[in-house]
Amino acid sequence: MNYYYITGTSRGIGKAFAEHLLENPSNYVIGMSRQCSIEHSNYKHFYLDLTDVNAVTDFKFELHSHPQKIYLINNVGSLGFIKPIGKLDAATIIKNYTLNLIAPSLLTNAFIKTYNTTDAEKVIVNISSGAAKSPIDGWALYCSSKAGLDMFSRVIDAEQKVRANHPEDNIHKPFKIFSIAPGVVDTNMQMEIRSASKQDFSRLDDFIGYNLNNQLADTKTIAEKYFRILLNFDSLPNVSFSIKDYE
Q: Which residues contact 165 (CB under 8 A, 6 or more apart)?
A: none
CA gap 27, 56 in Å, rounded: 24
Is 142 designated active site? yes
Query: In 3D, which of 136, 69, 138, 149 has the Cα closest to residue 108?
Result: 149
What was the pLDDT predicted at 80? 87
Domain boundaries, the chain: 2-186+218-246
- Catalytic annotation, pick one of 4, 142, 210, 226: 142
**Tens digit of pLDDT for each residue in 47-101?**
999 999 999 999 999 999 999 999 999 999 999 899 999 999 999 999 999 999 9
**Topology classification of domain 2-186+218-246:** Rossmann fold (3.40.50)
Q: Which residue has the higher pLDDT, 210 or 167?
A: 210
Query: In 3D, which of 16, 5, 10 has the Cα closest to residue 223?
Result: 16
**Tens digit of pLDDT for each residue in 175-186?**
999 999 999 999
